Structure 1
Amino acid sequence: MSFNGAFAADMQSNDAPTGVIVNALRWELLNDWVRYLHDSMYEDKTAEMSYWWGFVKRDCGFEALKCLWAKRERNYPMFAEAVWLLHREFSERAGGDSDPLFADLPSIPAEVLFQKIASCSAVVHRELTQEQMVEILRKAPQDYAGMS
Structure 2
Amino acid sequence: MDDHVGAGPAELLHPVVFAPEFDRGPFAHLEGLPDTVEDLARALAPVAVTGERMLPLLVRLCTEDLAYGVPFDPWTPDRARDVLGRVVDALGPETRWWSNVSYPDRAWASGDYSGDFSSSPVTGYTTDCAVVGIGRYATLTMLAFAES
TM-score class, shorter: under 0.3
Q: Pick the structure with more strand per residue.
A: 2
User: What TM-score does the superposition give when structure 2 sets the normalisation length?
Assistant: 0.25
User: What TM-score does the superposition give when structure 1 sets the normalisation length?
Assistant: 0.25
Indicate the structure (1 or 2) with the bigger Cα radius of gyration: 1
Q: Relative CO higher for 1 or 2, CA cutoff 8 Å, sep ≥ 6?
A: 2
Q: Pick the structure with more helix per residue.
A: 1
